[in-house]
Structure formats: C-alpha cells, structure tokens
Chain A
Amino acid sequence: MKFLKKENFEAFAKKISRENDIFYPEQTNGSYRWKKNEGESFSLEGHRTVLPMKYFFFPPGENLKEKERKPAVIFGARGCDLRGLALLKKIYLEEPEDIYFRKDILIFSADCTSAHKDCFCAALGDEPWAEEGFDLNFSFARDGYIVEAGSDKGSEILKNNSGLFEDASNARKREILEVRQKTKETVLKQNGGKNIKPAVIAEKIEKNTDVLAKYAEDCVSCGACTNVCPACFCFFLSEGENNKIRYSDSCQYPGYARVAGGANPRKEMTPRFKHRFLCKFFYRPAMQEIKGCTGCGRCIDGCQGGINFMDVLADIAGAAE
C-alpha cells in the first residue's frame, strides 16, 4: 500500500492521461455520471454512477469489428461495479471468448464516501468498497489517498510513478477504515439494518411465487432494471455491416424467450419477473459461482413501475418457509 498526497493526485492523473482515455464519475445535482476527462481536475469521492460501468466493456449497439482506440482507465469505479464486472467477465471471457469485450481498460476503483438513497450493498452482505478486481484502489485518508495495487499492471504503475507516492504509515491505513465504516453504516441505516442472506433468497424464491406475483403486477416490462444493472449481461445479435451488432436485451421483455414456432416459456409477467430473481440469486451462483446482484440499487432508481427490488428481497427472505 502506498500513500498519494492530495496535491499529487492531479499530477498522477495527468501522467496516466498521456496514454489513456480517462473516465471518472462527475457529480451533477447529487448524482454521478461517467465523464471523459478533458484535462479538468476531478475527485474520487461519492458513490456509484447512474449508469453502470459495464457499457465501457460492451457498448450497446456495438458493431463487432476491431477498433482503433486508446486504452482507457476508469477512475472511481465502485465495489458494486467490480462485483458486477467479475460476473460479466466469467460470462464473456469464458471459452469461446467474446473477443470484443474490452480488455484494454484499467480500473482505478475508489471506496464509496457516501451512498445513493437506494444503495443496499451492505444489507446484502457486501461492502461499499472494492475487495478485488481492480488494478489500483483508492481509499481515503485525511490528506490524501491510500492506494493499493490489485494486479501486476497496478503494481507496475505504482513503481513507474514512485516519485509521486510514499509508503503508507499504519496511522494512515487506519484512517481509511473510518471512512469505510461510516459509509457502511449509512447504507445499513437507510435499509433499516436489514441483513439479507443471498443463499436464503436462492432457496426461497421458488416457494414464494405469490410474493413475486404481487410485485410483478406493477412491472411494465420496460427493461430499465436490467439495462442499468451492472451484472446483467443479456444481448441479442443482429446482422450489421461486415459482422454482427450486439444490442443489449432484457429478460423482462415479453418476446425475449419466444421461439420461431411461437412457443414462449415466459410469456406471462410473473415467470419473467421471477426469472430475474432466479438468475441473480440461484442460476448464476450455481453456474458462475457469483451472484448476479451487487446491491447497487440502480434497478430501484430506474424502475418505471416503482418496484423496490430491495423490498422484494426482504419480503422473500422474511416469508414463511
């Protein structure tokens, strides 16, 4: 672990920007949106963006062709973004590999210093900071950042910029825990101290179709929830110039599973709604060994039917056996 003085951050970012496009979360009216850096100074404080990080890796509507572009560095990715990315990587990079899923992106994540009102990661047993999957992670000490390398590339970057960094003292390392704990408490508190066990959800979904059916009544099948989800990966291929185009898709659309002959296993809303929960808490853990929900709350924020995903989970968890 290294220490980066606040005043050295800009010099570090400048140096990185020489060879990379930099993206970072820009704050506008209390929410965060990804922005490409054009040389302005920026901060890593705050919480997750409105749109997930996943679209840097597979932009919607991408014509699948080799592209000329600068590599990118994403500053300020959050723990939830990385937990989502871990699942996406398992799906996209498993044989046969999706060669268009970007591999030239470095991730410089940052601990959350605040929470969106819908965030519930800590109530799901996850942390509001990144534990793995980053190249560098930035944590907040009083007068700068504690920077941890999580990959060989990350370590190399620290080495190549050793002039900007110093060794982190134990006192400073302890400071970051205060920030982490404070954010975690915020998340727990805004979720009424709930502690939802993903394994319990996995077991209880099947027996609680009625709970899901009640919420499904409000769903308008818009697909917003899956589109903003950092862990949803579904797409459909269409013919494009010289190769396919990969469009984002949603299991919540009525025609999603329909076959040419007309059969459709999830024609009705409730099976579709339930599929989303099964996928996230049962199927993905069973097959990819990672759950498909990071607790980011984006689907709550985005839902056109006003469905609170966290409430659904709490109801399932609390339902009788």
Chain B
Amino acid sequence: MSKDPYRAIDAWITGVIDETPAIKTFVVKPEIPLKFRTGQFIQFTLYGEGEAPFTPSSSHFEAEKFEVTIMRAGRVTEKIHKLKQGDVIGIRGPLGNGYPLEEFEGKEILILGGGVGMAPLRSLLLTLLAEKEKYKKISLLYGSKTPDDIVYKSQFDNWRKKGAEIFQSVDKCETGEWKGKIGVVTCLFEDIKPNAEKGVAIVCGPPIMMKFGTLKLLELGYSPDRIYLSMEKNMSCGIGKCGHCALGKYFVCKDGPVFKYSEIKDIEGIWD
C-alpha cells in the first residue's frame, strides 16, 4: 500500500514559549525529521480532537526539531495552547509550495509582516540569513497592534546582528513606552525607500494588512509578479482534494500557500 496522506506521524512537544498573552511557540520533535521548505505548512493534529494548519516558524535548515507559533483563535488552538512539554501530537506534511528562494537570489528582499503573520516570515528570515551571501539585502518591516503584541520580541536584535535591516511599528501605544514609529505597518515607508526595480517583496499578516501592504508595494513600483503573498484559507485535507481552501481556480494547500500577486489579483474577494 502506498503512503497514506491522511495519517499523521507522531511528534513530541519539547518546549513551549509564551510570546504574547494569546500567542505561544511550540518546539516540536517529529519521529521522522521534517524536511520542509520555508513557507510550506503542516497540519498539526491533536489526536481525537482535530487538526489545524500552521507554517513552521523556524529555519528550514533544521529538520530534527521545528517550531510553530500559534495564536489562540478557535476550538483547536484553544486546546493546543494547553499542551505541555512531553505531550504527543501528530503532524502531517510538509504541505504546499513554500517560498521560491531561487527567485529571490541576487535581489533585495523586503519582508512585510503583521501580527502573528510574523511566524512564517521568521522561518523565511532565518532561512535567508543562513545563506545571506546569496541575497543583496534583507529588510524586515514588521507591525503589530501594541508593543505587547510583538512576537519574537527578544530576537530582533539578534537578527539585526546577523545582517537584517529591521523596522518596526505599532498601531497604538497607550503607555508611551514605545519609542519607535506609531501607525499601521505601511507608515514605515515614510522613512525607507525600497528599490522596487531590484527587489522582491514578501507579505504575510492579517488580511487587511496584506491588502494595504500590497497596494502600497504596487504604488512603490513593485510589479505584481514580484510581490509574494502567503494566503490563509480554511484547510482540511491539505493535499488538494477536499476543496476547502479554494481561491479561484487554485487550491491554496497545493498550489500555494505562497502566490505571486500577479497570479491571484483578478480573483474576487482575495482579501476576505
């Protein structure tokens, strides 16, 4: 019998990191190393309870263990948040296409992220930084609602040291502790002028941020085939059969989750 694409393999939780009150990162060790490409996703199975799709947030050069950053948003994620070190879960994957790194080589890379959308982007960033000589420049623009909602807070300095240029904003800050930019993430473009001709841009975040981020990038001169979006859709099978993740003629789980804006721009309601 050939391989059963519905059956999860066992994996162990080897660490839990609190990121924000609603977001945790889980360190997962699968029984067989997970050789994924950054941007691909997995189905995270709670045996007997259900599954939910997540993109690993760690570098794809590490297969023995990987990390997933998960926001509490529904029935399954509520239960996932109760997991502790040593608990057994299931995983299916890697699934989907992932980021086409070969298309990024030799270019200036601009990463635009918002909120928990930083999870797949962290994987991308770490993967890019591991081979940074291949890319001309790596910049990250990251926005979150408030300073308390920033994920991976303690890691930004480290990424800077490794060679990434990083700009951050928060939508609002009532305590006054935030010394940086205040406003939605696109306000960061008031200060930096990316080289759209020589660059590619990668966007991931809440739908509204993806929409305005993309529009801004177009305005800055990025052509639609140089803007890469990680699309979030309802998923069940993760292998292009159940129809749930339909985005126009595509199945996001199989043809995505990463799409060039040029591929999907004419589909109705892509930001909904």
Which A residues are within 8 Å of any B CB, using their own CB? 64, 66, 91-92, 94, 96-100, 206, 233-239, 243-244, 246, 249, 251, 256-267, 271, 275, 278-279, 282-283, 286-287
Chain B positions 60 through 74: 1 when the CB is less than 8 Å from some CB of chain A, otherwise 0:
000000000000011
Do residues B47 and A239 form an inter-chain contact, with CB atoms below 8 A?
A: yes
Of residues 1 through 45 on chain B, the ones whose CB sits less than 8 Å from some CB of chain A are 1-7, 45
Report yes or no: B234 in contact with A96, Cβ–Cβ below 8 A. no
Is B50 an interface residue, CB under 8 A from the partner?
A: yes
Question: Chain A contacts of B207 at CB under 8 A?
Answer: 263
Given A258-B234, A260-B73, A283-B248: A233 touches B6 (CB 8 Å cut-off): no
The reply to whether B268 and A235 form a contact with Cβ atoms under 8 Å apart is no
Instruction: For B236, list chain A residues within 8 Å (CB).
Output: 235-237, 249
Q: For residue A270, give the distance in angstroms from its CB to the closest CB of chain B.
A: 11
Given contacts A235-B236, A260-B77, A271-B268, contact A279 B2 (CB under 8 A): no
Give the residue name and chain of the B residue nearest to A274 (CB): B268
Q: Say whether A260 contacts B50, CB under 8 Å.
A: no
With both beta carbons as reference points, the residue of chain A lying nearest to B270 in the complex is identified as A265
Contact between A64 and B241, CB atoms less than 8 A apart:
no
Are B234 and A257 interface neighbours, CB within 8 A? yes
B191 within 8 A of A: no
Closest chain B residue to A283 by CB distance? B249
Whether a CB of chain A sits under 8 angstroms from the CB of B242 is: yes
The reply to whether B249 and A243 contact each other, CB–CB distance below 8 Å, is: no
Would you give 5 A-B contacts (Cβ < 8 Å), ordered by A? A96-B3, A233-B243, A237-B236, A264-B272, A265-B233
* Chain A minimum-CB-distance residue to B5: A96
The 8 Å CB contact of A257, one of B7, B50, B241, B244, is B244
Contact A243 B237, beta carbon cutoff 8 Å: no
Given A66-B1, A257-B233, also A233-B47 (CB < 8 A): no
With an 8 A cutoff between CB atoms, is B108 at the interface? Answer: no
Q: Which B residues are in CB contact (< 8 Å) with A259? A: 232-234
B 231-260 binary contact with A (CB < 8 Å = 1; else 0):
011101101111110101110000000000
- Would you call B246 and A249 a contact (CB within 8 A)? no
Chain A residue nearest to B232 (CB atoms) is A259
Q: Output the residue of B74, B77, B243, B246 with the most chain A CB within 10 A.
A: B243
Q: Are A256 and B241 in contact (CB under 8 A)?
A: no
Residues from chain A with a CB closer than 8 A to the CB of B240 are: 91, 94
Nearest 3 CB-CB pairs, A to B?
A234-B243, A260-B74, A283-B249
Q: Is the CB of B269 within 8 A of A271?
A: yes
Question: Is B4 in contact with A64, judged by CB distance below 8 angstroms?
Answer: yes
Point out the residue from A237, A262, A279 that lies within 8 Å of B237, measured CB to CB.
A237
Most A-side CB within 10 Å, residue of B4, B47, B48, B269: B4
Residue-wise interface mask of B (207-244) relative to A, using a CB-CB cutoff of 8 A (1 in contact, 0 not): 10000000000000000000000001110110111111
Identify the interface centre among B47, B52, B74, B270: most chain A CB within 10 Å of its CB.
B74
Which residue of the partner chain A has the closest CB to B45?
Answer: A239
Look across to chain A and name the residue whose beta carbon is closest to the beta carbon of B268. Answer: A271
Provide the bound-state CA to CA distance between A257 and B272, in Å.
10
Contact check, B5 vs A234: say whether CB atoms are below 8 A apart. no
Bound Cα distance A91, B49 (Å): 27
Contact A234 B242 (CB under 8 A): yes
State A66–B4 Cα separation when bound (angstroms). 10
Cβ B244 vs Cβ A64 within 8 A: no
Q: A66-B1, A271-B268 are in contact. List 7 more A-B contacts (CB 8 A).
A: A64-B7, A233-B242, A236-B236, A239-B50, A243-B6, A249-B236, A256-B244
What's the minimum C-beta distance from B208 to chain A, rounded to whole angstroms? 10
Q: How far is the CB of A94 from chain B (nearest CB, A)?
A: 7
Complex: chain A residue closest to B71, CB-CB = A261
**Which A residues are in CB contact (< 8 Å) with B233?**
257, 259, 265
Cα–Cα distance between A251 and B73 once the two chains are bound (Å): 23
Q: Which residues of A contact B234 (CB under 8 A)?
A: 256-259
B52 partner residues in chain A, CB cutoff 8 A: 260
CB neighbours of B47 from chain A (8 A): 239
Most chain B CB within 10 A, of A97, A243, A259, is at A259
For B50, the chain A residues whose CB sits under 8 A away are: 238-239
> Are A287 and B272 touching (Cβ within 8 A)?
no
Give, as a whole number of angstroms, the nearest-CB distance from A321 to chain B: 19
Q: Which one of A206, A249, A271 lies within 8 Å of B244 (CB-CB)?
A: A249
Q: How far does the alpha carbon of A236 sit from the alpha carbon of B237 in the complex, in Å? A: 7
Q: How far apart are the CA atoms of A282 and B76 in the complex, in Å?
A: 34
Contact A265:B272 (CB < 8 A) given known A98-B241, A279-B246: yes
Q: How far is the CA of A97 from the CA of B241 in the complex (A)?
A: 9
Contact A283 B246 (CB under 8 A): yes
The residue in chain A whose Cβ has the minimal distance to the Cβ of B245 is A257
In this complex, what residue of A is CB-closest to B254? A94
Q: From residue B24, how far is it (CB to closest CB) to chain A in Å? A: 15
